A and B are shown apart, each in its own frame.
Chain A
Amino acid sequence: AQRVTQPEKLLSVFKGAPVELKCNYSYSGSPELFWYVQYSRQRLQLLLRHISRESIKGFTADLNKGETSFHLKKPFAQEEDSAMYYCALYNTDKLIFGTGTRLQVFP
């Protein structure tokens, strides 16, 4: 079955530290993967999509088909990056979300 796993519920770092939010997926075929972010009191919004290979707000994510991973990375965390991050896989007609990781960036 298609599934997205985010093993960390909470990730806490200090400002300026590197960040890696983990995402693993199970899917037969070529996956279409996304990272969505939800800032406090805001709606869920797209952060990046793997096929566009863009860097948004300094975040990047590389698809590793061998490890079935799509980890989200940022070299230097900022306080404004504190939010809930969801990894998602698109399958046929729906997004399949992970349970999310809360990122806390301390000053």
Chain B
Amino acid sequence: DAGVTQSPTHLIKTRGQQVTLRCSPISGHKSVSWYQQVLGQGPQFIFQYYEKEERGRGNFPDRFSARQFPNYSSELNVNALLLGDSALYLCASSLRGADTQYFGPGTRLTVL
């Protein structure tokens, strides 16, 4: 198993644009969580999905949205990008929401 995979690896966007990030969990894992990691900080929780339902949401504006598909993969969407959205976006999967989370390599988003 390749572990959690994320695409793309890097992304450059301009202010006001929209972006979609993708995540494939470890086979058999039904929960996916998204985190934002700004340089010099620890990861900050954005969303958790379990069995295609949103189970938790962090303190992020409504410009951030996500969904989970029947195959348990997930997408994170960010609208109306701001310079402050530049960060590493991490996806983590777990068997169930409360189990140990395993992280993907992240998507580096740069907003110009």
Number of chain B residues whose Cβ lies closer than 8 Å to a Cβ of chain A: 25
Q: Are B48 and A94 in contact (CB under 8 A)?
A: yes
Q: How many A-B residue pairs have CB under 8 A?
A: 51
List residues 68-106 of chain B with CB under 8 A from any CB of chain A.
Answer: 90, 92, 97-98, 100-106
Q: Which of B41, B55, B101 contacts A95 (CB 8 A)?
A: B101
Q: Is the interface of A mostly helix, strand, loop or mixed?
A: strand
With both chains docked as a complex, state the minimum distance between the C-beta of A50 and any C-beta of chain B, in angstroms.
12
Please list the residues of chain B having a beta carbon within 8 angstroms of any beta carbon in chain A. 3-4, 33, 35, 40-45, 48, 55-56, 58, 90, 92, 97-98, 100-106
With both chains docked as a complex, state the minimum distance between the C-beta of B14 and any C-beta of chain A, in angstroms.
28
A interface residue count range (under 10 / 10 to 19 / 20 to 34 / 35 or more): 20 to 34
